[in-house]
Every structure is written in C-alpha cells, then in structure tokens.
Amino acid sequence: MNLANRITVARIFLVPIIMFFLLIKVPFPAIKFAEFSITYNQIIAALIFIIAASTDSLDGYIARKRKLVTNLGKLLDPLADKLLVSAVLVSLVQMGKVDAFIVIVIISREFAVTGLRSICAADGIVLAASKWGKWKTAAQITAIIALLVNNFPFAFIDIRFDYWATWVAAIITIYSGVDYFSKNWHVISVSEK
C-alpha cells in the first residue's frame, strides 16, 4: 500500500476516535467564559477532525505528485470522506447541535452521487470531483468545525456562524448534487435502455 493510500486509511481510522470523544462521556471538565462553554472532549474531537479533514487534500496531492494514483485510492478516498463527514454529522444530530433534516439532505446527496459514480464506472467513465464538489466539501468541513467548537469565536459577538454555515453547506451540497446529475444525465439515460 502506497503512502497516499496509507494516509486515506488513517483518515478512516480517525473516524471512531472522533466519535468516541463526541459521544462517550469522558470525565473531562468544561471550559467556560461567560455564557460560552466547551468541553475538552469537543476540543479533542475538533482537533482530530481538522487533522483528518486536512489529510483529504494531502493524500490526493501525494498521489498525483508521485504518480501513485491507484484504483484502491480511487475507491478509498471518497469513502473516507463520506465516512468522516457522515459519522460526525450523525454524532452532532445526537448531541442536538444540528437538525436531522440537514444531515439527511447532505447524506442523501452523498449516496446519490456515489450511485452515479458507480453507474459511470460501470460504463468506464471516471467521474472526477467538480468545482462545486470541492466547494461542497469545504463548506461541510467549515460548518462541522463551527458546530464542534460551539460557534467559537462567533459566540462572543452573538453571530450564529455555525447555523448559517450549516445552511450554506446544505445549499451547496444540493447544488453540487444537481450539477453532477445534470452534467452526467446522458450516462443514466443510456444505462436505462
């Protein structure tokens, strides 16, 4: 297994560690400033999430730079991304930090685009990440980080950045899904015949 794929696998292994710190009640105290409060569990989970999310660009860069692009990497990289985002979003729903509706929309889009990629792959077409797909990932990661850190530092100036970032992520997620399907509808219509 090459370096790029090892980094991708490491991202997958970080997912349960993040969930452990989010969902298991580890007896760490909370940090409190006036009305703002955050637990050490959340800080640790946010830091691990940031590390895991940053490996997404790193593994792709290494694979392209060193000519290490493999079929395993093409399979694992989007899988790792979806596992990371989906697991953390579902955890945030359980914690009461994000509406289930938004998470369902985001995860549904991921399933739909994964299905589209499978249809394209069966026809020998590689569906590369689009500009909107990359914006979607950036928006989701930004929203998740804001939710993980209880809207720090915007909580001090009473701006609901986490709320608005989540809605922006949902809208870009929907748009990027529509973009993928509209640009590749010919593959689906050919597959139906």
What's the domain count of the chain? 1
pLDDT in tens, 57-110: 888 888 888 888 887 887 788 889 999 999 999 999 999 999 999 999 999 999
Given this model, what pLDDT does residue 47 score? 97
Q: Is the pLDDT of residue 190 over 90?
A: no
CATH of the domain at 26: 1.20.120
3-state secondary structure of 38: strand
**pLDDT for residue 192 is more than 70:** no
Domain, as residue range, for 104: 3-192
- C-alpha distances out from residue 48 to 19, 53, 74, 92, 168, Å: 10, 9, 23, 15, 23
Amino acid found at 57:
S
Q: What is the band of 27 on the pLDDT scale with cuts at 50, 70, 90?
A: confident
Q: What pLDDT digit, counting tens, does each position of 110-158 carry? A: 999 988 888 887 777 777 778 898 899 999 999 999 999 999 999 889 8
Long-range contacts of 29-36, Cβ-Cβ distance < 8 Å, separation of 24 or more? 33/156, 34/156, 35/155, 36/150, 36/152, 36/155, 36/156
Which helix (H) or strand (E) covers residue 37, if one does? Answer: strand 36-39
